[in-house]
Amino acid sequence: MIRTIGRTILGVVVLTLIFGIAYPVVMTGIAQVAFSDTANGSLIRVNGTTVGSKLAAQGFTGAGYFHERPSATVPAYNAMGTTFSNLGPTSDALRTQVRDQIAAVMKAEGPYNPGLRVGDIPVDAVTTSGSGIDPDISPAYARLQARRVAAVRHLSLSTVEQLISRYTDGRFIGLFGEPGVNVLELNLALDRIGH
Protein backbone atom coordinates (compact mmCIF):
# COMPACT_ATOMS: atom_id res chain seq x y z
CA MET A 1 0.00 0.00 0.00
CA ILE A 2 2.79 2.43 0.96
CA ARG A 3 4.53 1.54 -2.28
CA THR A 4 1.34 2.19 -4.28
CA ILE A 5 0.89 5.58 -2.65
CA GLY A 6 4.53 6.45 -3.31
CA ARG A 7 4.19 5.50 -6.98
CA THR A 8 0.99 7.52 -7.27
CA ILE A 9 2.72 10.58 -5.79
CA LEU A 10 5.48 10.10 -8.36
CA GLY A 11 2.86 9.97 -11.12
CA VAL A 12 1.20 13.11 -9.83
CA VAL A 13 4.54 14.96 -9.79
CA VAL A 14 5.34 13.88 -13.35
CA LEU A 15 1.90 14.94 -14.61
CA THR A 16 2.27 18.29 -12.82
CA LEU A 17 5.63 18.90 -14.49
CA ILE A 18 4.27 18.06 -17.93
CA PHE A 19 0.83 19.70 -17.84
CA GLY A 20 1.44 22.37 -15.21
CA ILE A 21 4.88 23.60 -16.21
CA ALA A 22 6.04 22.29 -19.59
CA TYR A 23 2.74 22.83 -21.42
CA PRO A 24 2.22 26.51 -20.48
CA VAL A 25 5.95 27.29 -20.80
CA VAL A 26 6.20 25.82 -24.29
CA MET A 27 2.95 27.50 -25.34
CA THR A 28 4.26 30.82 -24.02
CA GLY A 29 7.50 30.36 -25.94
CA ILE A 30 5.68 29.76 -29.21
CA ALA A 31 3.17 32.53 -28.55
CA GLN A 32 5.82 35.13 -27.73
CA VAL A 33 7.64 34.39 -30.98
CA ALA A 34 4.67 33.96 -33.30
CA PHE A 35 2.10 36.36 -31.85
CA SER A 36 3.99 38.76 -29.58
CA ASP A 37 1.44 41.56 -29.91
CA THR A 38 -1.64 39.63 -28.86
CA ALA A 39 0.26 37.37 -26.46
CA ASN A 40 1.15 40.42 -24.39
CA GLY A 41 -2.35 41.84 -24.17
CA SER A 42 -2.98 43.69 -27.46
CA LEU A 43 -1.48 46.86 -26.00
CA ILE A 44 -1.72 50.09 -27.95
CA ARG A 45 1.21 52.51 -27.86
CA VAL A 46 1.14 56.17 -28.85
CA ASN A 47 4.53 57.88 -29.13
CA GLY A 48 6.12 55.06 -27.15
CA THR A 49 3.66 55.24 -24.26
CA THR A 50 1.23 52.40 -23.58
CA VAL A 51 -2.18 54.03 -23.57
CA GLY A 52 -4.28 50.92 -23.02
CA SER A 53 -5.35 47.65 -24.57
CA LYS A 54 -7.56 47.18 -27.57
CA LEU A 55 -9.40 44.60 -25.45
CA ALA A 56 -10.17 46.67 -22.34
CA ALA A 57 -12.43 49.63 -21.74
CA GLN A 58 -10.70 52.40 -19.79
CA GLY A 59 -13.46 54.78 -18.72
CA PHE A 60 -13.76 57.68 -21.14
CA THR A 61 -15.73 60.60 -19.69
CA GLY A 62 -14.66 63.66 -21.73
CA ALA A 63 -17.33 65.31 -23.86
CA GLY A 64 -15.11 64.96 -26.94
CA TYR A 65 -14.81 61.20 -26.57
CA PHE A 66 -17.07 58.26 -27.11
CA HIS A 67 -18.06 56.69 -23.79
CA GLU A 68 -18.09 52.99 -22.97
CA ARG A 69 -20.85 50.96 -21.38
CA PRO A 70 -21.43 51.07 -17.61
CA SER A 71 -19.10 48.85 -15.56
CA ALA A 72 -19.79 46.89 -12.36
CA THR A 73 -16.13 46.61 -11.35
CA VAL A 74 -14.63 48.51 -8.40
CA PRO A 75 -13.45 51.01 -9.38
CA ALA A 76 -15.18 51.08 -12.77
CA TYR A 77 -13.24 49.59 -15.73
CA ASN A 78 -10.86 47.73 -13.42
CA ALA A 79 -8.89 45.37 -15.65
CA MET A 80 -7.41 43.68 -12.56
CA GLY A 81 -10.81 42.77 -11.08
CA THR A 82 -13.38 41.89 -13.71
CA THR A 83 -16.89 41.18 -12.48
CA PHE A 84 -20.55 40.92 -13.36
CA SER A 85 -23.09 43.11 -11.56
CA ASN A 86 -25.02 39.97 -10.53
CA LEU A 87 -28.17 42.07 -10.22
CA GLY A 88 -31.22 39.84 -10.55
CA PRO A 89 -33.71 40.70 -13.30
CA THR A 90 -36.34 41.92 -10.83
CA SER A 91 -34.07 43.61 -8.29
CA ASP A 92 -34.58 47.19 -7.16
CA ALA A 93 -30.86 47.79 -7.56
CA LEU A 94 -31.17 47.00 -11.28
CA ARG A 95 -34.15 49.34 -11.57
CA THR A 96 -32.13 52.12 -9.93
CA GLN A 97 -29.08 51.45 -12.10
CA VAL A 98 -31.10 51.63 -15.31
CA ARG A 99 -32.93 54.78 -14.21
CA ASP A 100 -29.66 56.53 -13.28
CA GLN A 101 -27.97 55.51 -16.52
CA ILE A 102 -30.91 56.78 -18.57
CA ALA A 103 -30.65 60.12 -16.77
CA ALA A 104 -26.89 60.24 -17.41
CA VAL A 105 -27.27 59.49 -21.12
CA MET A 106 -30.09 62.03 -21.51
CA LYS A 107 -27.92 64.66 -19.82
CA ALA A 108 -24.85 63.89 -21.92
CA GLU A 109 -26.51 63.44 -25.31
CA GLY A 110 -29.75 65.44 -24.98
CA PRO A 111 -28.23 68.85 -25.70
CA TYR A 112 -26.75 67.56 -28.99
CA ASN A 113 -29.76 65.47 -30.06
CA PRO A 114 -32.82 67.73 -29.93
CA GLY A 115 -35.98 65.77 -29.17
CA LEU A 116 -34.05 62.79 -27.77
CA ARG A 117 -36.44 60.29 -26.17
CA VAL A 118 -35.73 57.45 -23.78
CA GLY A 119 -36.84 55.10 -26.55
CA ASP A 120 -33.86 56.26 -28.63
CA ILE A 121 -31.36 54.96 -26.07
CA PRO A 122 -29.97 51.53 -26.97
CA VAL A 123 -30.05 48.99 -24.17
CA ASP A 124 -26.28 48.50 -24.00
CA ALA A 125 -25.91 52.14 -22.90
CA VAL A 126 -27.79 51.54 -19.65
CA THR A 127 -26.67 48.00 -18.76
CA THR A 128 -23.37 46.87 -17.26
CA SER A 129 -21.27 44.55 -19.40
CA GLY A 130 -20.30 41.01 -18.47
CA SER A 131 -16.62 41.74 -17.94
CA GLY A 132 -16.87 45.31 -16.72
CA ILE A 133 -14.26 46.15 -19.37
CA ASP A 134 -16.30 45.56 -22.54
CA PRO A 135 -14.21 47.41 -25.13
CA ASP A 136 -17.16 47.71 -27.52
CA ILE A 137 -20.39 49.62 -27.77
CA SER A 138 -23.19 48.80 -30.17
CA PRO A 139 -23.25 50.75 -33.46
CA ALA A 140 -26.56 52.20 -32.22
CA TYR A 141 -24.94 53.65 -29.10
CA ALA A 142 -22.01 54.99 -31.16
CA ARG A 143 -24.39 56.77 -33.53
CA LEU A 144 -26.23 58.28 -30.54
CA GLN A 145 -22.94 59.75 -29.30
CA ALA A 146 -21.73 60.88 -32.73
CA ARG A 147 -23.47 64.27 -32.70
CA ARG A 148 -21.95 65.22 -29.35
CA VAL A 149 -18.44 64.20 -30.37
CA ALA A 150 -18.76 65.96 -33.73
CA ALA A 151 -20.05 69.17 -32.12
CA VAL A 152 -17.42 69.28 -29.38
CA ARG A 153 -14.60 68.56 -31.83
CA HIS A 154 -16.03 70.80 -34.60
CA LEU A 155 -16.05 67.90 -37.02
CA SER A 156 -18.72 67.10 -39.55
CA LEU A 157 -21.15 64.37 -38.51
CA SER A 158 -20.26 62.37 -41.61
CA THR A 159 -16.55 62.38 -40.68
CA VAL A 160 -17.35 60.96 -37.27
CA GLU A 161 -19.75 58.40 -38.70
CA GLN A 162 -17.12 57.27 -41.20
CA LEU A 163 -14.74 56.68 -38.30
CA ILE A 164 -17.44 54.71 -36.48
CA SER A 165 -17.81 52.45 -39.49
CA ARG A 166 -14.05 52.00 -39.76
CA TYR A 167 -13.70 50.89 -36.14
CA THR A 168 -16.74 48.63 -36.15
CA ASP A 169 -15.66 45.00 -35.83
CA GLY A 170 -18.10 42.97 -37.87
CA ARG A 171 -19.25 39.41 -37.38
CA PHE A 172 -16.83 36.52 -38.06
CA ILE A 173 -17.45 35.44 -41.68
CA GLY A 174 -20.44 37.78 -41.53
CA LEU A 175 -22.25 35.37 -39.25
CA PHE A 176 -20.83 34.70 -35.77
CA GLY A 177 -20.95 37.29 -33.01
CA GLU A 178 -22.40 40.80 -33.11
CA PRO A 179 -20.94 44.00 -34.55
CA GLY A 180 -19.25 46.21 -31.96
CA VAL A 181 -17.49 49.58 -32.15
CA ASN A 182 -14.09 49.57 -30.43
CA VAL A 183 -14.18 52.71 -28.30
CA LEU A 184 -10.45 53.10 -27.60
CA GLU A 185 -9.44 52.74 -31.25
CA LEU A 186 -12.20 55.14 -32.29
CA ASN A 187 -11.19 57.77 -29.74
CA LEU A 188 -7.51 57.48 -30.64
CA ALA A 189 -8.43 57.98 -34.29
CA LEU A 190 -10.35 61.12 -33.33
CA ASP A 191 -7.33 62.45 -31.42
CA ARG A 192 -5.14 61.85 -34.45
CA ILE A 193 -7.41 64.09 -36.54
CA GLY A 194 -6.91 66.82 -33.94
CA HIS A 195 -9.22 69.41 -32.41
Partner 1 sequence: MTANGIAQILLYAVILTALAYPLGIYMARVYEGTISFVNGPLARVERLFLRLVGSDPEHEQNWKGYAGSVLLFTIVFTVLLYLLLRSQGHLPLNPDNLPGVSAPIALNTTASFVSNTNWQYYGGEYTMSYLSQMAGLAVQNFVSAAAGMAVLAAVIRGFARRNTSEIGNFWRDLYRSLVYILLPLSVVLALVLVWQGVPQTFSGHAVAHTVQGVTQQIARGPVASQVAIKQLGTNGGGWYNSNSAVPFENPNGFTNLLECVAILLIPMAQVFMFGRMIGRMRQAWALWGAMFVLMAAGVAIAYPAEQHGSAVLRDSGVNIAAGSQQSGGNMQDKEVRFGIADTALWATVTTDASNGSVNGGHDAFTPLGGSVPLANIFFGEVIWGGVGSGLYGMFFYVLITVFIAGLMVGRTPEYLGKKIEAREIKIAAVGALFVPTMVLVLTGISVVTHAGLASMYNSGAHGFSEALYAYTSQSNNNGSAFAGYGGLPFAANLGSVALYLGRFVPLLAGLAVGGSLAAKKTHPESAGTFRTDGATFAILLVAIIVLTAGLMVFPALTLGPIVEGLS
**CA–CA distance, 59 with 54 (Å, rounded to integer):** 13
Beta carbons within 10 angstroms of residue 113's beta carbon: 16
Between CA 86 and CA 58 the distance in angstroms is 21
| Residue 70 or 155 having the CB closest to partner 1 | 70
CA 55 to each of CA 9, 52, 79: distance values in angstroms, whole numbers, following the listed order: 41, 8, 10
Closer to partner 1 at the Cβ: 40 or 156? 40
End-to-end alpha carbon distance in the chain: 77
* Minimum distance from residue 122 beta carbon to partner 1 (Å): 5
Give the separation between CA 97 and CA 88, rounded to whole angstroms. 12
Tell which residue, 58, 101, 48, has the closest CA to residue 79: 58
Least separation in angstroms between residue 156's CB and partner 1 is: 21
Instruction: Compare residues 83 and 159 and give the one whose CB is closer to partner 1.
Output: 83
Least CB distance to partner 1 at residue 151 (A): 19
The smaller minimum CB distance to partner 1, of residues 95 and 156, is found at 95
In the bound complex, what is the minimum distance in angstroms from residue 77's beta carbon to partner 1? Answer: 7
Closest to partner 1 by CB, 62 or 111: 62
Burial of 1 (0-12, 13-18, 19+ CB in 10 A): exposed
Q: What is the closest distance, in whole angstroms, from the C-beta atom of residue 118 to partner 1 in the complex?
A: 4
